[in-house]
Amino acid sequence: MEDKYISISCIPLPTFIQGGYAFFDEGENHPNRNDLQYFVLMIIVKGQLFIAEDGHQYTLNPGDIFILLPHHHHYSWKPVEQSTEYYWLHFSVAGKWTQENKPVDVSSKVDIPTLHYFTPTVTLYLKKNRHITDEVPAFKLINRIFKNSAKQNNVGFWQAQQQFIDLLQIFQEKTKNESTSTQLAERIERFLRDHFDEKITNATLSREFHVHPNSIALSMKKTFGMTPTTFLTKYRLEEAAKHLLTTDEPINQIARNVGYNNIYYFSTIFKQHYAMTPTAYREKFKH
């Protein structure tokens, strides 16, 4: 079957709605639907799923990613033959999108002024059906999205939305005009944002991306103007500031939530960045 590509305008950005983990026993069928208003992103973990959309039949295996279109007819074209499991994520697109045999530039639904703002493309290209060889990073990120969305608070909501955009970036078809260094820096930047609450060192990044630490630092400085360490510190403190203003969590808990086990070190770094202690920051700006 010929390849299909879904091209989505990213202004406005796609929005994560909900997600879960599906189990099907031998002989069961995927639900038969034609009125779902969301895109459905599926990542097969185990077994084999026989899914059809508008009469086109697909056989999905572990590591396969598949995207169902909103308001299109999808169903099982035959029951599963073994225990089958997959992640599913519903997402909504308010802007323009199209599915074609090749990636297509899609204009924004919102007028973009070019005098003070320019971006080379506002289109996200997703292959309708593709296979990934290393599922672990994607599965970790999906579980973090689910964990944050389950918090049912403002911080969790925004973190889940940010991480969902990161997931789409992992799955997107790369544009040809991006250099290898830029692509590496963008991957590092997403990893730092998605794992900022964990212990991350130069060795961690080197193992994750199979690149020498010097190359990692150079690519980040060239693309973002700062080292991975500086970026991580800046992002952690921004997340801490959000928690201080939107929750009543104790300072020591916030410190741990953003990756600092030593509250005194956290307070010192925070004061260097914001010119006041975390407690003073909360008292001054929280209403």
**Where along the chain do the CATH 1.10.10.60 domains lie?**
178-287
CA distance 203 to 29: 45
Asked if residue 74 lies in contact with residue 33, where contact means CB atoms within 8 angstroms, the answer is yes
- In this model, does residue 110 exceed pLDDT 90? no
- β-strands 56-60, 129-131 pairing: unpaired
What span, in angstroms and rounded, lies between the C-alpha atoms of 145 and 164?
7
Q: Mean pLDDT throughout 53-68? A: 96
Of the CA atoms within 13 Å of residue 134, those in its CB half-sphere come to 5
What CATH architecture is 5-131?
Answer: Sandwich (2.60)
Q: What is the CATH number of domain 178-287?
A: 1.10.10.60
- Whole-prediction pTM value? 0.76
In contact, 156 and 148? CB cutoff 8 Å:
yes
CA–CA dist 193, 185 (Å, integer): 12
Average pLDDT taken over every residue of the chain: 89
Percent of the chain clearing pLDDT 90 (strictly above): 64
Tokens in use for 235? 């992002």
Query: Residue 236 has which token pair?
Result: 């952690």
What is the per-residue pLDDT for 115? 47
Q: What percent of the chain has pLDDT over 70?
A: 94
Distance between CA atoms of residues 205 and 197, nearest Å: 15
Identify the sign of the CA torsion 4, 10, 15, 21.
positive
DSSP state of 57: E
pLDDT for position 178: 62
- Coil, helix or strand for 208? helix
Cα separation, 102 vs 7, whole angstroms: 9
Residue 148 identity = N
Give the position of tokens 């929280």. 286
Whether the per-residue pLDDT at 114 is higher than 60: the answer is no
In DSSP terms, 89 is beta-bridged to 19, 41
Q: Which residues of 18-36 are buried (b: 16+ CB within 10 A; e: fewer)?
A: ebeeeebeeeeebeeeeeb
Check pLDDT > 50 for residue 117: no
Is the Cα dihedral 246, 251, 253, 257 positive or negative?
Answer: positive
Give 65-85 pLDDT, tens digit per residue. 999 999 999 999 999 999 999
Q: What is the mean pLDDT of residues 33-59?
A: 95
Tokens linked to 226? 């700062």
pLDDT value, residue 65: 97
Q: How confident is the model at residue 259 (pLDDT cuts 50, 70, 90)?
A: very high
The DSSP result for 64-112, as a single string, is: EEEEEPTTS-EEESS--SS-EEEEEEEEE--S-EEEESS------SS--
Measured CA to CA, the distance from residue 287 to residue 282 in angstroms comes to 9
Residues of the chain with CATH 2.60.120.10: 5-131
Least confident of 7-21, 58-72, 73-87, 100-114: 100-114
Residue 179, amino acid: S
Instruction: Write down the H helix ranges in 195-277.
Output: 202-209, 213-224, 228-246, 251-257, 263-274
Distance CA(102)–CA(191), nearest Å, equals 29
Q: Residue 285: its pLDDT value, please?
A: 83
pLDDT tens, position by position, 175-207: 655 668 888 888 899 899 989 999 999 899 999
Q: In which band, very low, low, confident or very high, does the pLDDT at 143 lie, cut at 50, 70 and 90?
A: very high
pLDDT at 62: 96
Three-class SS of residue 127? strand
H/E stretch holding 145:
helix 136-149
